[in-house]
Structure 1
Amino acid sequence: MAFEQLALPLAGVSPNPEPTRIPRTRRVFVNRNLKMVGIDWVGFDMDYTLAVYNQAEMDRLSIDATRTKLVARGYPEDVIGSIAYELEFPIRGLLIDKRYGHILKMDRFKFVQRGYHGLRELSKDELRALYHQKKVRPTTARYHWIDTLYALSEATLYAGIVQAFEDRGLEIDYARLFTDIRESIDEAHRDGTILDEVMGNLPLYIDRDPLLAQTLHKLRSAGKKLFLLTNSRWPYTEKMMTYLLGGAMAEYPSFRHFFDVLIVAAQKPAFFQERRPLLERVGTEVVQASAPLERGRIYEGGNLIDFERFLNVTGDRILYVGDHIYGDILRSKKESAWRTAMIIQEMEAEVLAHESCREEHQKSAELEGRREELEDQLRYYQQRFKDLTKRMEEAGGHGSNGSSPFEVERSRIKRAVERIRGHLRAVDAEASKLEREIARRFHPYWGSLLKEASETSSFGDQVEEYACIYTSRVSNLLAYSPLQYFRSPRDQMPHEL
């Protein structure tokens, strides 16, 4: 039976002028299949998840507050105050070596691929001497991992001060310096130097997402229950969430109406690991909480086991959305059956950089193929050379003045081997140059956040292992159905490629 080919567009049906594909910068990426139809509760962290901070302004604020406290601890004001700190220097996933004052980036095998001392890049020989001959143990006291956007200012300060002291020939205790930086930043948070400034000027420090309220409403409309689980205390949470959601939709008189449960001062990751009591804030007092947890009330502290028991829900029916690879994602994944979504603000820039390198990636793949082909040829001719040498020895000599057929053939093969090795050196040089160009597209110092050379970076490895899905902001979920089946791409092992 013959079928008639219909002309497109169909008469009377106008083509849709809107794109049908979600832009890659706003897509949700999937590590592990996730059926939203099986999720009853969706939880959110606040800072750097619902609240998207202006990173450059937050870094400036943290650095200014910390410099003052470092000077109070005895650091020379003329040095600390005169440093032009490179705000663009750090990325997440870096490792501070407090023994030598280095900042490092590792791949998924914990192999150190890049490093800086201050703002001076470490050579391959320096990296090999310190980190390649023995196993690096990032969890020991010698090292500190920069795993949050909040902590980027620590790396900026550390690199800037190390560089300034080295340039001036001043003595420096690298471990003491980093401890002082961390303690000074923590002190600036505790005494209100940072938080009071943020609360007093929210438009400067917070990117208010106009689609956030619609996103939460869409989830609620599909029958999902929402909870807020944040380490921030109630006064800061109330002001921040009111700024983000207050008056956003007429259906919700206040931000509290978006959520079925509100927990502040959760002390993650301890929330997932310890049995801290769940408390309820009643006015200015805090009392023991009891089941069931009620909408509109403010809870503090708590723990994973009681939380699931009070809600009468199992962990596999909960999706938790956060930004902290350790406090929000890794610990919730290791200690529970919660499904996880990670907010990676850098993803939009990461995706754009990747898109801009398509030609370079294609060229890199071609060079890899060419290298593999040349290596196969090299192995073949090297084996031929060995076989001919053996046959000549068995024949009792090398012939007369190198003119025997064996000797002529062996000389030809030797020239072929040398020619192939030359081609391989040229391919390796071109590939290395291309790799450096690609890395600079992502970041001038460290390259891609999620990759390192041909491997996944240490940070990217943890994202891949512990985050079921990841995206750049919560409102990206608005483009998807609340019952979406998020499917991960087929994973391939090297022998399948």
Structure 2
Amino acid sequence: MFFNKKEYKVEDLKEIDPKRYFTGRQIHELQQLYELLKDESESSNVAYSQLMSPNGVFANNELNLNDIKIYGFDFDYTLARYRPTLHNLIYDHAKTYLVEKFKYPEDILKLEYLPGLGARGLHLDIARGWLMKIDSYHNIQLGTVYHGMNPVPDKDVIAAHKGTRLSIDAIGYFGMSSNMYQFVDIFSIPEITLLRDVMQDAVTQFHKGALHNLVGNEVEKYFEPHTRLHQLLERLRAANKQIFMITNSSYWFVERGMNYLVGDDWRKLFNVIICQARKPTFFAAQKKPFREYKPENNAKSWDRVTTFKSSNVYVEGNLGTFIDLTTWSGNDVLYIGDHIYGDLADLFLKHGWRTGAILQELKEEIETVNSENFQNVIKWLNILQWLIDQLQVIPGAEADILMKRWVEERQELRSKTKDLFNPHFGSIFRTYHNPTYFHRRLARFADIYTSNVCNLYDYPLDYIFFPRRMALAHENILPTPDLNLLLLNSAKEALRTSQLNENILSGLFPQLSTNEHEKIADQKEKLFRELALTKLHPTNGLSEILKYIEKNRTQLKIGLATNAPREVADFELNILKLDQHTFFDAIIVAEEFGSGKPDPAIYLEVCKRLQLKPESCLVFEDSPSGVTSASQAQTKCIGLLTSSEKEKLVKCGAYLTVKDFTEVNLDQVLKEIPTA
């Protein structure tokens, strides 16, 4: 009543100790719990998970930037980002190539590129021409297998592969084998789309040939401006970091792009520039020598390269010679690229470099995860799976029927989460609850990853990227869904209705002992006190009421009746700076008195100690239980609409309702109260 409780948000509560309180249930209990949790899940605005920044940098492995002395970069889709128009270009020219080179029907030229038909990380079953999504345990995700534009029935997938699990021989260690091909980089998306349309690959030939000429001659059309790329590189140089580039692209193409993205002086920012590197062969080859490239006459020098000169350009070569000439190796180096195999795998596994992956799709994926739709679906899905886990140990036909219904609902929810990302293939990082095969390789070969290389500019150069501690299958570091939601509900009820903790908790957790109720109540009150320091504010107009009381103190008697525990009551009075020994003539705490609101006994006891008749007392209350207690004790009760609706308080017996204390004229109100 003294506080504006609308300032306090239940979602600010911290997660509590994850003890499982629900065991050995009966079916009717689970059904009741299902309804309660579903109502709470749908009505609660508490996000299921912490919302993440779409522009963040995320760690698979701890990385201290203070240890990094050398920064290396790929060019395509790392330093350079491309507009969506590039995918249209690749798609259209590949169609032309198919018609002119392989005599495909000219009707395919009418096909249009449709975003969303492809996704990075998909696998191609080469023998069958099936596109599919595979998880980190080599399971085919049913519902994501396509032959061209047609979905392949689940039964056909299972029959063809004798189940859904693929062997390591079938899938290959790097997602590639004679049977399977994985589309890993973002250039593969138009390739996948064309494959679905005409079942043939022509993108590679175009990529090797005309692509760079077309894009390089229209940089503004195909390159996406990097507003902070120059700032990032300048910051690294100012901090005496060494910077290099290793790219498969030609120098002509790189120069066109970097001039547009950074400026004509971009070469001065790099200590070493390697073009036409032929990655991933570059990382394994030992004999291919470096050649210095002369941009002014488009020629390679045949002189042996014995040292790298800043701002000069080199082509071909191999990593062994690169390390010998630079002496850069190990944990001092962070290399950043977009291809987890072609850019990162060998460096991570064989050379001990630190690695970073650029995944342009990550930003959109995080925005989807942060969306209200996804948060609501995944929150209820998590709870439903917990309920199914409880139900499946109960035998009998009734349990089997309920299980069938809940499992079907679970599958519908899983499909919803998939469709929120991509209706054909879902998220590139998850297959329902498991990580995708693509994400598993990302986690294996990339220490950090982000959607844009310029996101690194938001972090100081001594920043430590910490991986998040993830729960293992045998660990349970997250709250049990029902306890978490119900505790939030109990806190909300305690604030809204001013009921006693024991009354609330015995209703929510009838199977628990009094001692267990007390433990939960103590935890809730502890959280409440922590939050009260910043979240609780005096109700509007209270200061004027207190001044009036002080001015007329000799004519008034002041009492307090509260359902709050003594510790909480003392805490709140201290916040208000009200001395309970001098300001109040009587204080009744329900847990000490033995009865609380809505029982009128607590207010009758206050009147008794004040030596006043109930009808001579004016009471301010803000909860239905408080108004009920005061009105049934025959006091005059004014209802404050700070936490309850007017209709409820009037129904409970309030003779007058006000928005807050600012609408109270005590001189006028007290004239209507008979004297003792």
TM-score > 0.5 by shorter chain: yes
Alignment partner of 2:381 out of 364, 387, 395: 364
Alignment partner of 1:337 out of 331, 352, 369: 352
Partner SS, residue 141 of structure 1: coil
Comparing 464-473 with 91-100, greater Cα deviation is found at 91-100
Structure 1 Cα separation of the partners of residues 97 and 191 of structure 2: 13
Q: Which residue of 254, 269, 272 maps to 2:280? A: 269
Q: In structure 2, what is the Cα distance between the partners aligned to 1:289 and 1:351?
A: 48
State the Cα deviation string for residues 432-460 of structure 1 (Å, max 9, x = none): 10111111111121000101011000111
> Would the aligned equivalents of 2:429 and 2:436 in 1 still touch at CA under 8 Å?
yes
In the TM superposition, what whole-angstrom CA distance separates every residue of 1:223-267 from its partner, at most 9, and x where no partner exists? 2111111111111111111111006xxxxxx00011111111111
Question: Structure 1 residues 338-347 or 423-432, which shifts more?
Answer: 423-432
One-letter amino acid matched to 1:117? H
Is contact 1:273-1:335 (8 Å) kept?
A: no
* 1:147 alignment partner in structure 2: 184
Contact 2:348 2:445 in 1 (8 A): yes
Alpha-carbon distance, 1:132 to partner: 4.2
Partner of 1:317 in structure 2? 332
Tell me which of 125, 128, 140 is aligned to 1:112: 140
C-alpha distance in 1 between matches for 2:285 and 2:335: 18
Which residue is 1:61 aligned to? 89
Counterpart-to-counterpart distance in 1, 2:70 and 2:150: 48
Give the whole-Å Cα distance in 1 for the aligned partners of 2:310 and 2:104.
52
Q: Report the 3-state secondary structure (helix = DSSP H, G, I; strand = E; otherwise coil) of the residue aligned with 1:482.
A: coil
Q: CA deviation at 1:479?
A: 0.6
Larger RCO of the pair (alpha carbons < 8 Å, separation 6+): 1
**In structure 1, how many angstroms separate the alpha carbons of the residues matched to 2:447 and 2:246?**
19
* Paired AA for residue 382 in structure 2: A
SS at match of 1:112: coil
CA 1:289/1:340 → structure 2, altered by over 3 Å: closer, same or farther? farther
Indicate the residue corresponding to 1:224 in structure 2: 241
**Matching residue within 255, 258, 261 for 2:266:** 255
Deviation at 1:158, TM superposition (A): 1.1
Question: Retained in 2: the 8 A contact 1:277–1:288?
Answer: no
Cα deviation 1:80-115 (Å, max 9, x = unaligned): 123344332000111112211211110001111120
* Matched residue, 2:343: 328
What TM-score, normalized by structure 2, do the two folds share?
0.59
Amino acid at match of 1:317: D
**What pairs up with 1:161-180 in 2 under 5 angstroms?**
161-162=198-199, 178=200
Q: Look up the SS of the partner of 2:248 in the other structure.
A: coil
Kept after mapping to 2: 8 A contact 1:112/1:132: no
Which residue number in structure 1 is paired with residue 363 of structure 2? Answer: 348
Aligned CA-pair RMSD: 1.8
Give every structure 1 segment of 4 or more consecutive aligned residues whose post-TM-superposition deviation is greater than 4 Å: none
Which consecutive residues of structure 1, in runs of 5 or more, have no partner in the other structure? 1-20, 163-177, 248-253, 383-416
The aligned counterpart of 2:107 is 79
State TM-score, norm by structure 1.
0.80
Aligned partners of 2:329 and 2:351 also within 8 Å:
no
Distance, in Å, in 2 between the alignment partners of 1:445 and 1:161 is 17
Distance 2:213 2:269 in 1: 26
Q: Provide the C-alpha distance between the structure 2 equivalents of 1:214 and 1:461, rounded to a whole number of angstroms.
A: 32
CA, structure 1 residues 128+22, in 2 after alignment: closer, same or farther (shift >3 Å)?
closer
SS in 2 for 1:106: coil
2:554 aligns with: none
Q: Which amino acid aligns with 1:266?
A: A
Of residues 312, 336, 342 in structure 2, which corresponds to 1:297?
312
Count the aligned residue pairs: 412
**Unpaired runs of 5+ in structure 2?**
1-49, 477-676
Deviation at 1:288, TM superposition (A): 4.1
What residue number does 2:461 align with? 482
Question: Which residue in the other structure is 2:215 paired with?
Answer: 198
Q: Assess, with a 3 A threshold, how the Cα gap between structure 1 residues 108 and 288 changes in structure 2: closer, same or farther.
A: farther
Q: Deviations over 1:93-150 (max 9, x none)?
A: 1111221121111000111112011111222212211124373512322322111111
The code of the aligned residue for 2:154 comes to K
Task: Measure the CA separation in 2 of the matches of 1:71 and 1:109.
Answer: 39
Aligned residue runs from structure 1 range 425-436, under 5 A: 425-436=404-415
- In structure 2, the CA distance between the partners of 1:22 and 1:236, relative to structure 1 (3 Å rule), is farther
Q: Distance in 2 between matches of 1:157 and 1:453?
A: 26
Say which SS state the counterpart of residue 266 (structure 1) adopts.
coil
